[in-house]
Structure 1
Amino acid sequence: MSRPEPGIVAETFDCVVVGGGPSGSTAARHLAQQGRTVLLLDRQGRIKPCGGAIPPRLIKDFDIPDGLICAKANEARMIAPSDRRVLMPIEGGYVGMVNREAFDEWLRARAESAGAQRRTGTFDRIEREADGSALVVYRPAGAAKDDPAITVRARTIIGADGARSNVAAQAVKGADKQRYVFAYHEIIKAPAAGAADFEPRRCDVWYQGKLSPDFYAWIFPHGDTASIGVGSMQKGFSLRTAVTALRQVAGLTDCETVRTEGAPIPLKPMKRWDNGRDVVLAGDAAGVVAPASGEGIYYAMEGGRLAAEAVEATLSTGRAKALTQARKRFMKAHGKVFMVLGIMQHFWYRSDKRRERFVGLCDDPDIQELTWQAYMNKELVRAKPAAHARIFLKDMGQLLGLRAA
């Protein structure tokens, strides 16, 4: 495909999608399938630090082939500050693990196959023509520093350019008020069987203040590799030092490091996702990472789909108000889950004493069953009132210190 001539507005797209991660690629594919002209603009060589866990709901809803799943975890292990270890087996199911480098590229290629034009470059700014129409200015990959930027006309724009989104900063009110957890992980070559405290079908989650004062650390299997990471929003806390310590305690120090990555992760959905005109956000740019768990891939792809549907409605009707439907529909479906997880993170992650009690709760069969059901299906479980009542009583006992952890 020939590159557009710099400095000349030669192309018009129904939608320019800025960001080629799971949310942007999903949005671009959806709109292209509706016959819309779509430009998918993605930065070169960007891989987000991510444990790579995807639930069965995502695999089903977004037609993910089995070949992209590099590992299938059938249990999680929670490690308390006291080093108490609680296993949470997944009965009759699994958590799919993906390598973001391969997974994201496959999603971009699928969007291109659906008809989206795909280009590699860096978004620079949104400009306005005399009639108010949006112009997206970007610098193509490989361009010299003094080369002119490329400008395209966009009837609509989806900002899916991650946390600290440049699209959001320029177009959506309140973007500057977003708060973040900072995440860092190291991808290593997986150890041989029995060579370390590592199982290729188990996700380890470490709730220890020395590894993270306000979030958690993890070791997730990725087939031939593994992700070892940590998150925290505490300034001055060394994420790299924490990962080094985790590798040492798990016997993974000598494993070869394949690559390292770090990035901010938003703490909660933004209050507004659109500019009331022609821009809507999706994925991390909109803040859709689940509190407490840090899970984001499913919510990013769901948000991308909803953003695309809102854009399609706007293009079809000419009513910019339709853009608000992306956030409204997302929060209606997932807002309660985010609220519950936010309360959990605020309360349980505040001290090692509370983390100890939290891991104690994870040893309860009722909690394990409902936790996995909610995770797998991406909704709160309402069908078992007796189990919820038992969990409430146990939770209160832990809060008041009346039950042993």
Structure 2
Amino acid sequence: MSHSSGKETFDVVIVGGGPAGATAANDLARRGHHVLLLDRAGRIKPCGGAIPPRLIAEFEIPGHLLVARISAARMVSPSNKDVDMPIDGGFVGMVDREHFDEWLRTRAVEGGAIRRTGTFSALTREADGTAVVSYERRLDDGRLQQNSVRARAVIGADGAVSAVARRCIPAASEMRYVFAYHEIIRSPAPHHPVFDATRCDVVYRGQLSPDFYSWVFPHGPTTSIGTGSACKGFSLRGSVAEFRKAAALDDLETIRREGAPIPLKPLSRWDNGRDVVLAGDASGVVAPASGEGIYYAMAGGRAAADAVALFLKTGNAAALASARRSFMRQHGAVFFILGLMQRYWYLNDARRERFVAICRDKDVQQLTWDAYMNKALVRAKPLSHVRIFFKNIAHLTGLARAA
């Protein structure tokens, strides 16, 4: 579709082709909207790659994308005490972001979206107020080509340090981050002394991460080993090197290294009140305490798509605010509870020792997995909640020994 200015016109331009952007593009294109999905080439986000059953069902993910099925998690305390948390009768799927994200983008194109490789550079306006999205494309000869298209609406799904958010949404200045770094390594051979291909390890140890955690997440033939921290100057690379040595994984081939900021809290506003709305990491929707983001990115992408579809239908810019409202109505309570947990339990190693001790409790394990798998706080078991409340109080006050 062209305009008298000669520029192509789209109903929606989506900046960023990760899970949030690709989901929004797929949803809108399949509703018959003219969609441009603009994605930078070759960017793979550092990510453990865990997806819960609810995501697999809700977003119709085929089984061939699962490179591993995890049946347990192991929590390791600062003093090296470990607690196994088996998943009764279920599993967590593991995906390789390189292939998973590409599959999502391809699905959007099959649904009717137009996909282009390029880097967002500016959002300006024509005389009638229509948004003009400018982006750069690298040509085969290495030169940069400047391009621009018109957009009735724009979805910024371009990551935690979102260029769209910084230019269009004043609330973006609130964003706070944990920095994550991981190394994708060749998975060890079977019968490794400490590695289990069906288990995720979560390690709480101050020298590896003073304020977050470190992890070993198996992905079938490869494994992610990494750490996160919000402490400036803390050496994430040094921590992962030390961690690999301690886990007897230091002699395995390193396939790639990746680092990125991960947001700590959803922004207070996701839209500009006119024609731009955010989704995924750009809006801050990564679960506190766990750092889980793929499900929430895709849920946020769907919420943004619904809001934009309503805006395109009614012309009422107030519809854009419904993206955040509907997301927080579904997930705000979980984010609030996890935020409290992170602020309290991750403060120092003494508290993290007690936190891992709590995870020994069968009620805690059951409710943790129920909440993770189904993405909701489980209300069906009030007695379990009461028991956990009193156990938590005991741990908080030191009445329960961190055994």
For 1:84, the equivalent position in structure 2 comes to 81
For 1:342, the equivalent position in structure 2 comes to 339
1:48-68: per-residue Cα shift (whole Å, max 9, x none)?
000000000000000000000
The CA distance in 2 between the partners of 1:147 and 1:9, in whole Å, is: 21
The CA distance in 1 between the partners of 2:270 and 2:245, in whole Å, is: 42
The CA distance in 2 between the partners of 1:290 and 1:37, in whole Å, is: 32
The CA distance in 2 between the partners of 1:143 and 1:387, in whole Å, is: 61
The CA distance in 1 between the partners of 2:115 and 2:185, in whole Å, is: 31
Any unmatched runs of 5+ in structure 2? none
Counting only pairs closer than 5 Å after superposition, residues 1-400 of structure 1 correspond to structure 2 as 9-142=6-139, 147-400=144-397
SS at match of 2:191: coil
The CA distance in 2 between the partners of 1:40 and 1:194, in whole Å, is: 44
1:62-100: per-residue Cα shift (whole Å, max 9, x none)?
000000000000000000011000000000000100000
Any unmatched runs of 5+ in structure 1? none
Shift of 1:196: 4.0
Shift of 1:317: 0.5
The CA distance in 1 between the partners of 2:214 and 2:6, in whole Å, is: 47
Shift of 1:146: 6.3
Change (3 A) 1:247 1:37: same
SS at match of 1:339: helix
Q: How many residues align?
A: 400
**AA at the equivalent of 1:48:** K
The CA distance in 2 between the partners of 1:154 and 1:9, in whole Å, is: 13
**AA at the equivalent of 1:92:** G
The CA distance in 2 between the partners of 1:136 and 1:37, in whole Å, is: 15
**AA at the equivalent of 2:107:** R
SS at match of 2:170: coil
TM-score, normalised via structure 2 length: 0.98
The CA distance in 2 between the partners of 1:127 and 1:323, in whole Å, is: 19
The 8 Å contact of residues 137 and 145 in structure 2, kept in 1 or not, is answered as: no
1:202-229: per-residue Cα shift (whole Å, max 9, x none)?
0000011111000000000000000001
1:306-344: per-residue Cα shift (whole Å, max 9, x none)?
100000000001101000000000001100100000000
Shift of 1:10: 2.6
Shift of 1:177: 2.1
The CA distance in 1 between the partners of 2:191 and 2:114, in whole Å, is: 47
SS at match of 1:58: helix
Aligned-CA RMSD value? 1.3
SS at match of 1:174: helix
Shift of 1:141: 3.1
The 8 Å contact of residues 15 and 36 in structure 1, kept in 2 or not, is answered as: yes
Shift of 1:111: 0.3
1:287-316: per-residue Cα shift (whole Å, max 9, x none)?
000000000000000000010000000000
SS at match of 1:59: helix
The 8 Å contact of residues 9 and 152 in structure 1, kept in 2 or not, is answered as: no
Change (3 A) 1:145 1:259: closer
Identity %: 62
The 8 Å contact of residues 135 and 152 in structure 1, kept in 2 or not, is answered as: yes
SS at match of 1:87: strand
**AA at the equivalent of 2:136:** R
The CA distance in 2 between the partners of 1:199 and 1:9, in whole Å, is: 58
Greater mean deviation of Cα atoms: 389-398 or 134-143: 134-143
The CA distance in 2 between the partners of 1:57 and 1:191, in whole Å, is: 30
**AA at the equivalent of 1:400:** T
SS at match of 1:261: strand
The 8 Å contact of residues 9 and 151 in structure 1, kept in 2 or not, is answered as: no
Shift of 1:142: 3.0
1:16-43: per-residue Cα shift (whole Å, max 9, x none)?
0000000000000000000000000000
